[in-house]
Chains A and B, each alone.
Chain A
Amino acid sequence: MNAALLETRGLCKSFGAIEVAREIDFRLERGARHALIGPNGAGKTTFVNLLSGLLRPSRGRVLLDGEDLTSLAQAKRVKRGIARTFQINQLFHGLTVLENVCIAVAERLGAGGSMLRPAGRRRDVLAEAVGLLETLRLEDDAGRRVHELPYGRQRLVEIAIALGLRPRVLLLDEPAAGIPSAESHIILAAIATLPRDIAVLIIEHDMDLVFRFAQRITVLVSGAIYAEGSPAEIAANRDVRAVYLGSAADA
């Protein structure tokens, strides 16, 4: 069996007496299309925060391709290849869409701190940023400030930034959150264009999106893994249905 690309071993996190992550042993394979679901408060976002470095675990380890990342801060993990989107957009709202993506690309290329040449002369950064916007069909909004865009388009910018980092692992925290379900197909289309070799972990409540996207599903309840398997297995699992999907999801 191949070694997993991203792995956690015995990952635990408590805030005082409250345990938000309990002995999580998780594996994300190369090229995975993996979904993380669970009831509200199950600790899904906390888990992603632990993976991306926003939170330090109380115990346990996070490994990327065998390398122990547990003590590394967010920015260092990004350099190692982990990128994420946030449940609530974290964008540079006063800047244009193109500038937002350029910042991410420039950082990845190591040009973010360069002080001598003007940013405008870095045609490589510009070209790559424009390419990303075209992939996500955002090029018409390239010159508009983010705060002027409708929320759904902002969500796409969030994904564009993460892609600009050319990650090996992409963590999407509720990418369709706040978007009316009639428009969520845009997000699904964007996710479908993701390069095949990236491992993608998606947190979602929109079951439609989950079952169309995922090859593998993990169910998190009260900070611990409750069940794991293929979409068919999870859909058929009565305990999962009881704790989360509810009897209305008989299909």
Chain B
Amino acid sequence: MSRSEPALALPAARTLAARHRVKWWEALPWLAGIAAFFFLPSYLAFGTQVLITILFALSLDLVLGYAGIVTLGHAAFFGAGAYTVGLLAAHFGWKEPLSGLVAAAAVAGAIGFASGYVLLRTRGLALLMLTLCTMAILQESANVAASYTGGFDGMPDLTFAPLLGIIPFDVLYFRSQYLYALVVLFVCFVVVRMLVYAPFGQSLTGIRENVLRMHAVGAPVHARLVIAYTVSAAIAGVAGALFTQANAFVNLATLGLDRAAGVLIVLILGGYGRLYGAFVGAIAYMVLERALANAYPTAWQLGVGLTLMAVALFARNGIFGLADALRRRLAAPGSK
């Protein structure tokens, strides 16, 4: 740039101007993901679930971490996407995976737009309850429409067409599912990253930090929130669609409180409002869960409960926040 930019003489301005640049370590998660494909071939089924959870948590981060919308009902969109793909495959013979993703995103996004438009005028306990109610209504609807959705047992034994016409889903070892999920996660991540570093993402942070001030600077707060909620719902829908396609089944649990609370826990553990918190939280939680939950389910629940309490009391920014605090303390050990 040969134009003189006196503003950039200020270090703070330079920091802001460069914040969106890709840092070297941002390649690590993706390299690790590819490495896992080659070095952990027997864990790819588990790996696929982890990737799906990361995507779901990423969608939640957009509304919770950045916009500050506390919701316990985000599984509504995950399940909407999951059932869209399942219903299309089982009843309409629509088994093409990629277009299924698009359809799931559209349906989940539409539900997100409609519910967000109405619900996001409230805050606090009322909003929390409304998100819960929306999810519960969707779950009950899926239950009532059991002739289409299979009710409580769901729709097992779904089949899907090969990806791009040539790569079939690998039911035994999940090889193709894993790479498929990795690519989809990457694409969605790029979208979320773009939004977060754009002025749009900054305004979401402003809404979270001080909504009165955002009104007082002329920002269309409700519109921004609805857009964020819609995009987040669409991405959650994609995660749900991946779930159905990869696992070849869908059931009511995709719309349930367990899944909604689970993704919240994952995001909190990793650190919300930090893009990569979803990655850290999902991997940490699911690895631990796989190691402990089956053997000692009650102790696992106790451990999760105690961890949540500890995080709420002491480590509000999750693992990422702890790492940050540690790094700051190591960098300047003698300062006050």
Direct contact of A and B (CB under 8 A): yes
B12 contacts A73, CB within 8 Å?
no
- Answer yes or no: A106 CB below 8 A from chain B CBs: yes
B residues in contact with A123, CB < 8 Å:
5, 7, 17
Of the listed stretches A27-35, A36-44, A91-99, name the one at the interface; the rest are far from the partner chain.
A91-99
Q: How far is the CA of A188 from the CA of B21 in the complex (A)?
A: 40
Q: 8 Å CB contacts to A: which residues of B206-253?
A: 206, 209-210, 212-221, 223-224, 227
Instruction: With a 10 A CB-CB cut-off, give which of A75, A86, A97, A129 has the most chain B CB atoms.
Output: A75
Least CB distance from B290 to A in Å reads 35
Q: Is the CB of B12 within 8 A of A114?
A: no
In the complex, A123→B215 CA distance in Å? 24
A165 touches B17 (CB 8 A): no
A-side contacts of B7, CB under 8 Å: 123, 126-127, 129-131
Whether B30 is near chain A, meaning CB under 8 Å from some CB there, is: no
**Assuming the A-B contacts A112-B199, A115-B200, A119-B198, are A142 and B220 also in contact, with contact meaning beta carbons closer than 8 angstroms in the complex?**
no
Most buried by B among A73, A78, A130: A130
Q: Chain A residues with Cβ under 8 A from B216's Cβ?
A: 52, 74-75, 78, 83-84, 86, 90
Q: In the assembled complex, which residues on chain B have CB atoms less than 8 Å from the CB atom of A118?
A: 19-20, 194, 197-198
B301 at the interface (CB under 8 A from A): no
CB contact list, B1-44 vs A, under 8 A: 5-8, 10-13, 15-21
Contact with B along A190-207 (1 / 0, CB 8 A): 000000000000000000
CB nearest neighbor in B for A105: B217
Pick from B13, B19, B205, B220: contact of A95, CB below 8 A.
B205
Partner of B210, one of A83, A93, A113: A93
A150 at the interface (CB under 8 A from B): no
- Cα–Cα distance between A143 and B213 once the two chains are bound (Å): 20
Q: Mark B251-287, 1 if CB is under 8 A from A, else 0.
A: 0000000000000000000000000000000000000
> B5 near A127 (CB under 8 angstroms)?
yes
Alpha-carbon distance between A90 and B211 when the two chains are bound, in angstroms: 9
User: A149: CB under 8 A from chain B?
Assistant: no
Collect the chain B residues with CB atoms within 8 Å of residue A98's CB. Answer: 10, 12-13, 16
Interface bits A127-139 vs B (CB < 8 Å: 1, else 0): 1011101000001
Measured in the bound complex, the distance between the Cα atoms of B5 and A126 in whole Å is 10
Which residues of chain A come closer than 8 Å to B18, judged between CB atoms?
120
Whether A111 is near chain B, meaning CB under 8 Å from some CB there, is yes
Complex Cα gap A113–B5 (Å): 24
Kindly state whether residue A65 has any CB partner on chain B within 8 Å. no
CB distance from B14 to the nearest CB of A (A): 9
Contact B209 A95 (CB under 8 A): yes
Q: Is the CB of B202 within 8 A of A115?
A: no
Interface digits, B95-115 against A, CB 8 Å rule (1 contact, 0 not)?
Answer: 000000000000000000000
Which residues of A sit under 8 angstroms from B15, Cβ to Cβ? Answer: 143
The answer to whether A90 touches B219, judged by C-beta atoms less than 8 angstroms apart, is no
A118 to B7: give the CA distance in the assembly, Å: 17
The reply to whether the CB of A108 lies closer than 8 angstroms to some CB of chain B is: yes
Task: Using A78-B217, A118-B20 as known contacts, say yes or no to A139 and B10 having CB atoms under 8 A apart.
Answer: yes
Check A120 against B16 for contact (C-beta < 8 Å): yes
Q: Across the interface, do A104 and B17 meet the contact criterion of CB distance under 8 Å?
A: no
Contact, CB under 8 Å: A75 / B17: no
Contact B198 A115 (CB under 8 A): yes
User: Is B71 an interface residue when CB atoms closer than 8 A count as contact?
Assistant: no
Bound complex: CA A126 to CA B221 (Å): 22
Is residue B195 contacting chain A, with contact meaning CB distance below 8 A? Answer: yes
Docked pose: A131 CA to B214 CA in angstroms? 21
Q: Which residues A50-90 have CB closer than 8 A to chain B?
A: 52, 73-76, 78-79, 83-84, 86, 90
* Closest CB pairs A-B (n = 3): A78-B218, A143-B12, A118-B20
Other than the known A118-B19, A122-B199, what 17 A-B pairs have Cβ atoms closer than 8 Å? A74-B215, A92-B205, A93-B210, A97-B12, A107-B218, A112-B200, A113-B199, A113-B203, A113-B223, A115-B194, A115-B199, A119-B20, A120-B16, A123-B7, A126-B16, A130-B6, A142-B13
19 intermolecular pairs with C-beta atoms under 8 Å apart? A73-B215, A74-B216, A91-B213, A92-B205, A102-B16, A103-B203, A107-B203, A112-B199, A113-B200, A114-B198, A116-B194, A116-B198, A118-B19, A120-B18, A120-B197, A123-B17, A131-B7, A133-B10, A139-B10
Interface residues, chain A, with chain B CB atoms under 8 Å away: 52, 73-76, 78-79, 83-84, 86, 90-99, 102-104, 106-108, 111-123, 125-127, 129-131, 133, 139, 142-143, 161, 164-165
